[in-house]
Structure 1
Amino acid sequence: MTKKRIIFTGGGSAGHVTPNIAIINELNSEEWDIQYIGSKNGIEKEIIEKIKIPYFSISSGKLRRYMDWDNVKDIFRVLKGCLEARKILKTQRPSLVFSKGGFVSVPVILAAKSLNIPIFIHESDMTPGLANSISKRFATKIFTSFEEAVQYFPNRKTKAIGSPIRKDVLSGSKEKGLNLLGFQDKKPVIVVMGGSLGAKKINDTVRVCLKELLQHYQIVHLCGKGNLDKKLEAIKGYRQFEYVHDELPDILASADFVITRGGSNAIFEFLALNKPMIIIPLTRKQSRGDQILNAKSFEKKGYSITLEEEDLTKESLYKKLKELHEKKMDFKTAMKNSGKSNALNILLDEINKQD
């Protein structure tokens, strides 16, 4: 049987790559030949090469919503990327291009459209990034994580399905997690996550109220690279890591609550795991505000509590945790009834329909 070929694209951040990996991991390798197009030096290159998927590099420019002289240079980089992507696609002849966005995806989508190759797009956030705003007119089908995002895309080809979740994240063992951490099953466990680089204000606030928190909880603190505090290493009921990889599913299985940023991929993983959460989104000074919108949507639906970073103090964090604990079952019931844990299977079904 001749294999069908699919080419994934997306990059600039891990959030534009990990949902692609969730799909890649579940595609039947006997039916599909899987390849990836990304930038020459982006994070996607490092991530994809680790899982040994054939990787093609193209030129790409940064897409900006503001005036900058670099925009002129980047027009030529994007044009060069379009020519490079078209050459790759013409040679490889995929049945489908699947994009998770990021600036590197635009040349790939333009090239695919010029060759009449079907294009699927998935948008993670409440409002589309600039890449998907440009690419939406060329897509065959568009999928979104949030219902609220559908309004920004052509209605006839757009469907809200949630976010594709890596199946390994859902297969953790609570017992293994507790053993790994040296915790007991007597106090609830809080996982604190600020992203791969950590979040200074979240880290500092958790550590300032650590004594009070540890009276009621056990805490796993994923504090980001270079953010360990060696003075806290010996404290019972508190474990800190820069980051974790293979151990993450077991650690999340052991968690009762999560304190997190508002990145779409992460919060949809916690939703699928039914973990009540406090979301502390990036501020508008740090981002385009997408995490704030994500957090408000989840709070409105009863999945989480929002705590703005500007309002984050020892007292406000403790107050929100108390509320989360007291209403734990309400949150878990809303999350179980969300219907947003099947996105991966929906995407796999749609991909497998392609000739």
Structure 2
Amino acid sequence: MKSKTIVFTGGGTGGHVYPGLPIIKLLQDKGFRVCWIGSRNGIEKRIIGEWGLEYYPISTGKLRRYFSVQNFTDLFRIFIGFIQSLRLIIKLHPLLVFSKGGFVSVPPVCAAFFLRVPSYTHDSDVIPGLATKINHRMTRNTFLAYDESRKHLGDPKNKIVISGNPVRTEFFENNIPLSEYWEKRLEGHPLLLVLGGSSGAKQINQLIRESLEELCSRYVVVHQMGDDLFNTEIHHKNYYPLPYLREELPALLKKADLAVSRGGAGTLWELAVTETPGILIPLRAGSRGDQILNAEIVSQRGMALVLKDREPTATGLTDLVISLWSNETERKKMAENCRNFVNKRAEDVIVSYLLKEF
């Protein structure tokens, strides 16, 4: 074997990056060197830095489905990114390129196709993103989380594989110890965990702020607000706001009696793996609707409830939290549905296909 290098690419949101880690760990355990091609200033640069991987930035441009003057300047940036990707792939000489989606992934996948390097892609959402739809035409296999997603991609060569979404190994562990810090603060109280995704969620943050009096009289509320939205001015008994949860998240999710979150695909699969009953408030404004459909899928399977109001209120959220908490039978059924939903590890499925190259 001339090379043991595999190039990953993708970014834009944490959901385009975090599911790559379980795949990367499996490949590293098998002796492969993994590098990442991403944008110069995207969230992926920070995350990959924390993982200790080699990171190579390229010029990027956003892929828009609507008219914008920026489309013309971004086409130039995308072309520059393609040239940079060509040089990087020639330099790194990878066995394959694996994309986790996002606009930054298109130039590296195009460069791999041009250089006849095998490429693969994975999409976490019910409706694959535009980048995945473009990359799909050039891949050996395209991995999807849901069978319902298949209809959104033409598949003349039967190269779609329904793998599910990769989730970090820590979330699968049965007995994840809480830190002494959290043990002292919970002290036997029910835990309501609020997750706004890697960037936070203004709407959820506002709803929680308006509900604190009622919620904190019943639960310990641990609230991930997002790095950019973190507010240190809010103080309330039994309320613990944090900019972001990293190492603590698997243990807190396992411990949580209920979770409130957006409809991001990665978070929904983490809720499923940890069998945590959830209340979902999917992003609507400024979205292509992927979170709404993600939430509908898990709701139809009885794994979570969705706050469907287009303009949700603090009262509506509080009433739904209290109602679900009071119905132990329903919560147990939701946990069981989560357990039945996750019947395989996506990273094992994906890596089994990648190893066919060797």
TM (norm. structure 1) is 0.91
**Match of residue 252 from structure 1:** 253
Give the residue type in structure 2 aligned to 1:219: V
Structure 1's 60 and 302: CA in aligned 2 closer, same or farther, altered over 3 A?
A: same
User: Which of 333, 339, 343 is 2:342 aligned to?
Assistant: 339
Shift of 1:103: 1.0
1:300-339 mapped onto 2 (5 Å cutoff): 300-308=300-308, 310-325=310-325, 326=327, 327-339=330-342
1:273 CA displacement: 0.9
Alpha-carbon distance in 1 for matches of 2:63, 2:101: 11
1:352 to 346, 350, 355: 355
Which moved further from structure 2: 6-15 or 48-57? 48-57
Residue 19 of structure 1: how far off its partner (Å): 1.4
| RMSD (CA atoms) | 2.2
* Pairwise CA distance, 1:172: 7.7
* 1:212-258: CA deviation from partner (whole Å, max 9, x where unpaired): 2234322211122343354524x1x3322122222222222221211
Q: Counterpart of 2:273?
A: 272
Instruction: Tell me, in whole angstroms, the C-alpha distance in 2 between the residues paired with 1:200 and 1:92.
Output: 41
Determine the C-alpha separation between the residues in 1 that align with 2:220 and 2:133.
43
Q: Deviations over 1:64-99 (max 9, x none)?
A: 111112212222222222222122212322111100
1:222 lines up with 2:224 in the alignment: yes
Q: 1:13-66 CA distances to partner (integer Å, 9 max, x unpaired)? A: 222111122321232356212111112222222222332222222222111111
- On the 8 A contact 1:163/1:340 being kept in 2, the answer is no
- 1:194 counterpart (189, 193, 196): 196
Q: Distance in 1 between matches of 2:80 and 2:199?
A: 32
Gap regions ≥5 residues in structure 2: none
Equivalent residue of 2:46, what SS?
helix
Deviation at 1:187, TM superposition (A): 3.4
Q: SS at the partner of 1:28?
A: helix
**Against the structure 1 CA distance between its residues 30 and 209, is the aligned structure 2 distance closer, same or farther, given a 3 Å change threshold?**
closer
Matches of 1:333 and 1:172 in 2, distance apart?
Answer: 15
Q: Which stretches of structure 1, 4 residues or longer, exceed 4 Å deviation after superposition?
A: 172-175
Whether the 8 Å contact between 2:262 and 2:291 is mirrored in structure 1 is yes
Cα deviation for residue 115 of structure 1 reads 1.7
Larger mean Cα displacement after TM superposition, 269-278 or 24-33: 24-33
Letter in 1 for 2:231: L
Q: Is the 8 A contact 1:126 1:290 kept in 2?
A: yes
Which is worse superposed, 173-182 or 190-199? 173-182
**Aligned pair in 2 of structure 1 residues 208, 56: CA closer, same or farther (>3 Å)?**
closer
SS in 1 for 2:357: coil
Maintained 8 Å contact 2:198/2:226: yes
Task: Give the 5 Å matches for 1:75-114.
Answer: 75-114=75-114
Gaps of 5+ in 1: none
Give 3-state SS (helix, strand or coil) of 2:56's partner.
strand
Secondary structure of the corresponding residue to residue 302 of structure 2? coil
1:60-71 alignment runs, 5 A limit:
60-71=60-71
What is the Cα deviation at residue 131 of structure 1?
0.8
Question: 2:35 corresponds to which residue?
Answer: 35
**1:158 and 1:264 mapped to 2: Cα distance?**
19
Give the number of equivalent residue pairs.
Answer: 352
Matches within 5 A, 1:41-60: 41-60=41-60
Residue of structure 2 in register with 1:117 after alignment: 117
Q: Contact 1:10/1:38 (CA < 8 Å) preserved in 2?
A: yes
SS in 1 for 2:341: coil
Give, in angstroms, the shift of residue 329 of structure 1. Answer: 1.0
Contact 2:79 2:107 in 1 (8 A): yes
Q: What letter matches 1:70 in structure 2? A: Q
Change (3 A) 1:197 1:83: closer
| Contact 2:3/2:94 (8 A) holds in 1 | no
